[in-house]
Amino acid sequence: MITLEHVSKHYGETVAVDDLSLEVAQGEVCVLIGPSGCGKTTTLRMINRLIEPTSGRILVDGHDVTSVSPEQLRRGLGYAIQSVGLFPHVTVAGNIMTVPRLLGWDRPHMQARVQELLALVGLDPAEYSDKYPRQLSGGEAQRVGVARALAADPPVLLMDEPFGAVDPLTRERLQAEFARIQKELRKSVIFVTHDVDEAIRLADRIALMRDGHLQQYDTPEALLDHPATKFVHDFMGADRALKRLGRVRVSDVMRNEVPTMQDGSGAETMAQRASCAESRFVYIVDAGGRLEGWFDCVAFREGRVARDAITSVDWREAAVRPDTSLKEALSRMLGQGFRSIAVVDGDGRLLGDVALAGIEETMTAGDAYITHAGGEPEVDV
Amino acid sequence: MALVACLALPFAVLRPNRIVAGVSHAVWSAGGFGLLLVAACLAGAVASVATLRRRGSWLLAAASAITVVLAWALGAAASTLLRGAAPFARVSIGGGAWLALAGAAVLWFAGAHGERGRWALGVSSSVATLGLLGAGAFGGLGRLSIAVEYANQGPQFWQLVGTHLAVAGTALGIAMVIGVPFGVVCARAPRVRAVVLAVVGIIQTVPSLALLGLLIVPLAALGLPGIGPLPGIIALTLYALLPIVRDTYVGLAGVDAAIVDAGRGMGMSRSQLLLRVEAPLALPLVIEGIRSAAVLVIGIAAVVAFIGVGTLGQLIFLGIGQTADDLVLLGAVPMVVLAIAADGALRLLSRALVSPGIREAAS
Ligand SMILES: Nc1ncnc2c1ncn2[C@@H]1O[C@H](COP(=O)(O)OP(=O)(O)O)[C@@H](O)[C@H]1O
Ligand SMILES: [Mg+2]
């Protein structure tokens, strides 16, 4: 548990953080969000005493952070930053062992931990242990950064825009993995971001800041449905129904039974098989069940030759994963101009699909605003 | 170009004695070896054009061939020219031969740069060394004027080399012990940095002879001698400080702030951060500073011969005083060799010590 009591930080005339009080429960993710310069980083760095507050008190698990030396404190708080800051002269394994080494773990213990953590963040230990940071892609470096922060199994994780410097597709994967890891490990996390979608997706609670002040501290649903101020309302954005989809995962609404047929049977045979299918699209998979494309029955019936009714795709681009957010799935679907999108596992095996209709259902069930079209919630300003 | 030069310029110079100007002789005076040398230079030229940047081993082979043939050709020329000459007659190395040697050196460095495998380097250097030694023992190379000067100096030559190395090495060692911590302080405290860098910068601008002169005053005040090894080593140390302090500071200042922040955020203490993160990352530049300092100090160590330290500079000053060019060379050439050797050794050290994770970025 992390508690901030009336914490302020002044830089001369500038007030970076003003009388901030905040409590993060054990095992919860608190996302600090707000416009650039609102004091998020300053707040985070006061918790591990990289910055000393001008006034106020910070407690971690009931103990004042000033009751131990800064070094000792920091070894117990995982720390991951946007620029990652991996040590370039040390291998991936060596980077992950940083804190365990400071804590004096023995070597076999550290090596076992490296294996465990690399597997946890989705990197093959045999392949990555001995690489140097410059040999990693941005996404891989971020994963190693997270593994390094988790190395000594700290109860608290402090993360400053950890996925800020990677491309959107990689960020989406990293967010999904983070959600999975957090579900497993249940750390108390303070996560800084300026990306509202990221906040909505990952947060148990969102702390929205502005000019060093806390504007609202509540669940993502509450910030979307009952914004405390006009600023909160505006910052969360007008497309709130859409934003809420960020909290639902594809696996929650996906259709598991989808018509498929094996590739290699020839276009004409496929056409015959497809003609008796009920749905418009029949997915084409290879012998291992990997998605290869689909057959458009309507296009076929409209008199096109069978070959033209087949669309071949790369599953990495044309499909989503079960842990993708619905918002992301919807935007991918619309981006490709289809009314449904395939769902595959990490190896490309077809698991099912998500249809626009299914998403619509979720929106109406969970969100009153959709049914009363155009109805904006009352906002107290 | 080296080929043309080697043909056009005098190859060897015959003088009646060691001091007066002599008569130039072309490369043909070396007889059969002369022809061979021309052939080898041709081969080198072909190799450098044909294999530009691709197979370093061919360049290395050409370079060692030119060196060996050159040595034998010079030996042959010396023997031929001295036959029937007066007993005090000397044969010096002519401009053409020097240029051929320089051409070989260029080829060798180009080859060493392009060659990834080590064996070609090793083989070509051993062949060149063996060829040189062979020419010295059997090929008449020992009859060249510079070799005669060497023989005249006898064991004293090696004593001078030893002193030269000792003086330069001691100064370099002291400069490292002082300079690296100063570099660290510079990286930590901006105010101290301005002062320290200004001071070592000013020292660097003082001409070496002037510095030796200036040192006499404070040393005398301390009751210490103004000549001899002590002031010499002090002066050399002062010169070596600038590259070491500057590069240590630049190396540390160049460490990415995010990396330092990550280290601090994970609970590293100041000293752990310095030893485990900043020092290894700054190491390539620190060694680079030591390398520049080493080359600088080996050069300036010649000057301290003026205050009675027996370095290779003594031969140069003696040679100038006696207008014996080959004596000057006997002092200068080994100095160049020492500087190149120190340079190479420190490069190797850098390769061995710097983490593979940052090696490419550093060079
Ligand atoms: N070392 C500093 N000196 C002076 N002002 C600072 C310093 N660090 C941060 N600030 C100011 O404090 C405010 C909050 O900064 P920061 O916490 O980094 O914002 P955020 O992370 O939300 O973008 C900004 O106005 C910034 O200019
Ligand atoms: Mg920030």
Q: pLDDT tens digit string along B278-326?
A: 999 999 999 999 999 999 999 999 888 888 888 888 888 888 888 777 8
Residue A78 has pLDDT above 60, yes or no: yes
- Kindly state whether A98 is in contact with chain B, defined as any CB-CB distance less than 8 angstroms: yes
CA-to-CA dists, residue A364 to A56, A241, A245, A355, angstroms: 45, 9, 11, 15
Residue B11 has pLDDT above 80, yes or no: no
Residue ranges of domains in chain B, CATH in brackets? 2-145 (no CATH), 155-362 (1.10.3720.10)
State in Å: Cα B142 to ligand 1 middle: 75
Domain boundaries, given as residue ranges, for chain A: 2-248, 251-363
Backbone angles phi, psi at B207, to 5 degrees: -60, 150
State in Å: Cα A37 to ligand 1 middle: 6
Whose alpha carbon is nearest atom 5 of ligand 1?
A11
Q: What is the pLDDT of residue A365?
A: 66
ipTM of this predicted structure: 0.77
Could you please state the CATH topology (level 3) that the domain comprising A251-363 is classified under. Answer: CBS-domain (3.10.580)
Report whether CATH 3.40.50.800 matches the domain A2-248.
no
Task: Compute the nearest-CA separation of A76 from chain B (Å).
Answer: 8
Between CA A12 and CA A16 the distance in angstroms is: 10
Q: Does ligand 1 come within 6 angstroms of the Cβ of A38?
A: yes
Q: What is the pLDDT of residue B44?
A: 64
Q: What pTM was estimated for this model as a whole?
A: 0.79
Q: What is the pLDDT of residue A141?
A: 94
Window A:267-296, CB contacts with B under 8 Å: none
Residues with C-beta atoms within 5 A of ion ligand 2:
A 41
Give tens-digit pLDDT for A48-65. Answer: 999 999 999 999 999 999
Task: Compute the nearest-CA separation of A71 from chain B (Å).
Answer: 4
Residue B213 has pLDDT above 80, yes or no: yes
- Of residues A75, A88, A90, nearest to B266 (C-beta): A75
- Kindly state whether B355 is in contact with chain A, defined as any CB-CB distance less than 8 angstroms: yes
Check residue A17 and report its DSSP letter.
E
Q: Does ligand 1 come within 6 angstroms of the Cβ of A67?
A: no
The answer to whether residues B312 and B302 touch, using CB atoms and an 8 Å cutoff, is yes
Residues of A in contact with B259 (CB under 8 A): 85-88
Q: Quick one: angle between helices B95-114 and B56-82, nearest 10?
A: 160
CA-to-CA dists, residue B330 to A180, A342, B319, B323, angstroms: 75, 82, 9, 13
Q: Which of A8, A9, A11 to mutate to test the pocket of ligand 1 (most atoms within 8 A of CB)?
A: A11
- Kindly state whether A68 is in contact with chain B, defined as any CB-CB distance less than 8 angstroms: no
Distance of CA A166 to the CA centre of its chain: 12
